[in-house]
């Protein structure tokens, strides 16, 4: 088991760029796990920009759920795994719950689905002989969303971030492109 790093921050705070720089500083092959779905043209363009910014030698795994299972299947020789991003992973799981409930979401069912997804990812981190760098948005510092679904999503992402931060060896918060250490030294808190 390698080191697990969680990088959180606001939108366009430099999280993904820093995660890639951190991966470049390590030796060994990199597996880049992309959780985004190209739902519209703007998102397709963002995905393409991100792909162009990555070294051609990095393998990319595009997966929207069951990320831990897919990483174990696809790890190969990778010594570093970047999961970018947890925000969209939680959104994907949440959207699956919305679809299954015809637009309605049972809080307990959605929370269990997200918890199961994050626990499976954490189990993968413990089982795989690689370092993990995970990227997620910090959404708890903003205003309280006006609608119920947005509040529920924000709460689920906050819980996922807490679960990951508790098990991570290192947690960094990106602010204006600057990494601020929140947790270091490998202590599980």
Query: What's the average model confidence in pLDDT over 13-35?
Result: 95
| Pairing verdict, β 59-62 and 131-137 | unpaired
Is it the case that residue 43 has pLDDT exceeding 80? yes
Identify the CATH assignment for 4-182 out of 3.30.40.230, 3.20.20.70, 3.40.50.300, 3.40.50.11030.
3.40.50.300
- pTM as predicted: 0.92
Per-residue pLDDT at 59 exceeds 90: yes
Q: Which of 50, 59, 69, 70 is catalytic?
A: 50
Q: What per-residue confidence (pLDDT) applies to 188?
A: 54
Q: What are the structure tokens assigned to 116, written together? A: 């199961």
- d(CA 160, CA 189) in angstroms, rounded, equals 15
Q: What is the CA radius of gyration of the chain?
A: 16
* 65: pLDDT strictly greater than 60: yes
**Mean pLDDT computed over every residue of the chain:** 92
Higher pLDDT, 87 or 148: 87
Strands (DSSP E) contained in 10-130 are: 29-34, 59-62, 78-84
Q: Enter the DSSP assignment of 55.
A: -
- Our answer to whether residue 17 is catalytic in this structure is no
Q: What is the pLDDT of residues 72-122, one digit of tens each?
A: 999 999 999 999 999 999 999 999 988 787 778 888 999 999 999 999 999
pLDDT higher than 80, residue 180: yes
């Amino acid at each position: 088991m390698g080191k697990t790093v969680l990088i959180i921050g606001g939108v366009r705070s430099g999280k993904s760029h820093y995660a890639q720089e951190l991966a470049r500083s390590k030796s060994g092959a990199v597996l880049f796990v992309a959780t985004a779905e190209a739902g519209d043209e703007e998102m397709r363009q963002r995905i393409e920009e991100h792909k162009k910014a990555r070294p051609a030698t990095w393998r990319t795994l595009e997966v929207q759920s069951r990320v831990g299972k897919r990483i174990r299947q696809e790890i190969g020789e990778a010594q570093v795994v970047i999961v970018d991003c947890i925000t969209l992973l939680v959104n994907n799981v949440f959207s699956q719950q919305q679809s299954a409930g015809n637009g309605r979401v049972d809080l307990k069912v959605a929370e269990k689905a997200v918890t199961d997804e994050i626990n499976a990812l954490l189990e993968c981190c413990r089982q795989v002989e690689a370092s993990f760098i995970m990227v997620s948005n910090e959404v708890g510092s903003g205003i309280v969303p006006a609608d119920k679904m947005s509040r529920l999503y924000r709460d689920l992402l906050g819980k996922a971030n807490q679960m990951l931060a508790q098990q991570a060896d290192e947690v960094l918060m990106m602010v204006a492109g600057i990494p601020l250490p929140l947790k270091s030294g490998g202590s599980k808190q």
